[in-house]
Amino acid sequence: MNPERNHQHLKAIDFFCGGGGMTCGLRQAGIEVIAGVDIDEEAKETYEFNNPGSVFIKTDIRNLRSNYFERKHNVQRNDDSLILVGCSPCQFYSIINTDKTESLKTKDLLRNFARFVEYYRPGYILVENVPGILTNKRSIWPSFKRQLENMGYGNMLYKIIDMSFYGVPQSRRRFSLIATRLDTHIQLPVPDDKQALLCEFIGTEHGFARIPAGTKDKTDFNHTVAGLSEKCLNRMIQTPHDGGSRLSWANNPELQLACFVGKDGSFKDSYGRMWWNRPAPTITTKFFSISNGRFGHPEEDRAISLREGATLQTFPKDYVFKCRSIAATARLIGNAVPCEYARRLGEVILNH
């Protein structure tokens, strides 16, 4: 941490922290993260192992008393140096075609986050979510915004950003908000002049050995990749390197899937390869599967590995994921706020 900033001693509580992407980035900026709150028990070991000193509180925010942090962690109310972070689950507002029935129960979690804002009146608030939180007709956003304004946080800035212009090599469009009750100008991080590209982060020159599908890396580096059936492996072999798509084998009856027959214009990214000289697509919780998007390696016949996905989310390469399965690890990675963007948010507040 810059010695000149020590006197500020900014501290944060990371609600809906998951495996710790936001926490990691804020800590990289020099901010103390007191605790992370999440209902996912499997995230606890990963979070605390990589963020020593930051306590993982496994609970449903709806069941957490407003004064919990005051009693347990001596968090003071009306503290100008306190940051509350609320990156709530966003499946309900996502454009991904999923069943919204289960996610309906989580769409109003920001209202519970607002309860802690009202109680502690922190100096700063950070929120990150999918763009749909602004456009969905059933969104809690208008109500949440009014709550913040009524609590004195009219000094806010929010917009939809493309994280590829903030050091994150993905075409990842997100809603980002920063708000303060302090009477000074506030801003979001300034975008870079150029996008971050895939080739700047993965590949053999960045420490990623060439591996076949099905490789299980038992080290903490976790360069593990899902296996492929013989037919799916043949599909990858027939897909041109550096941005090839499933259209290359659309007329091959042995490889074409029945669900794609006559639908060349639909689900165009499924079974596709990434481009070296473009940002990756949005890293989702299913990035380990070539059938769930353009998650094929640009030139190797496989999906990207768990460590490659984590690197595209800008987790440090020594960040250890303490999960029992590929799917569980990918879920923590895909749901995370990219560490680099979180670091830049922290820098904005430190410089403020």
> Span 262-279, mean pLDDT?
88
Cα–Cα distance, 29 to 98 (Å, whole number)? 35
pLDDT one-digit tens code per residue, 306-337: 999 999 999 999 999 999 999 999 999 999 99
Domains for the chain: give ranges and CATH numbers: 3-193+337-351 (3.40.50.150)
> Span 199-208, mean pLDDT?
98
pLDDT one-digit tens code per residue, 280-303: 999 999 999 999 999 999 999 999
Task: pLDDT band for 262, please (50, 70, 90 cuts).
Answer: confident
Percent of the chain with pLDDT over 70: 92
Query: How much is the pLDDT for 195?
Result: 98
> Span 144-162, mean pLDDT?
96
Radius of gyration of the chain (CA): 21
Cα–Cα distance, 290 to 29 (Å, whole number)? 35
Cα–Cα distance, 286 to 289 (Å, whole number)? 6
Cα–Cα distance, 17 to 22 (Å, whole number)? 7
Query: How much is the pLDDT for 101?
Result: 52
Residue 2 has pLDDT above 80, yes or no: no
The catalytic residue positions are 90
Residue 1 has pLDDT above 60, yes or no: no
Other beta carbons within 10 Å of 133: 25
Percent of the chain with pLDDT over 90: 83
Task: pLDDT band for 51, please (50, 70, 90 cuts).
Answer: very high
Query: Identity (one letter) of the amino acid at 221?
Result: F
> Span 218-229, mean pLDDT?
98
Query: How much is the pLDDT for 138?
Result: 82
Residues 6+ apart with CB under 8 A from 19: 43, 46, 47, 321, 332, 333, 335, 336
> Span 19-45, mean pLDDT?
98
Average pLDDT, the chain: 92
pLDDT one-digit tens code per residue, 78-137: 999 999 999 988 654 454 455 545 444 556 789 999 999 999 999 999 999 999 999 888
Query: How much is the pLDDT for 164?
Result: 98
Residue 250 has pLDDT above 80, yes or no: yes
Instruction: Out of 6-20, 94-108, 160-174, 242-256, pick the least confident.
Output: 94-108
Query: How much is the pLDDT for 267?
Result: 75
pTM of the model: 0.93
The dihedral formed by the CA atoms of 161, 166, 168 and 171, expressed in degrees to the nearest 10: 30
Tokens of 321: 């994921």
> Span 343-348, mean pLDDT?
98
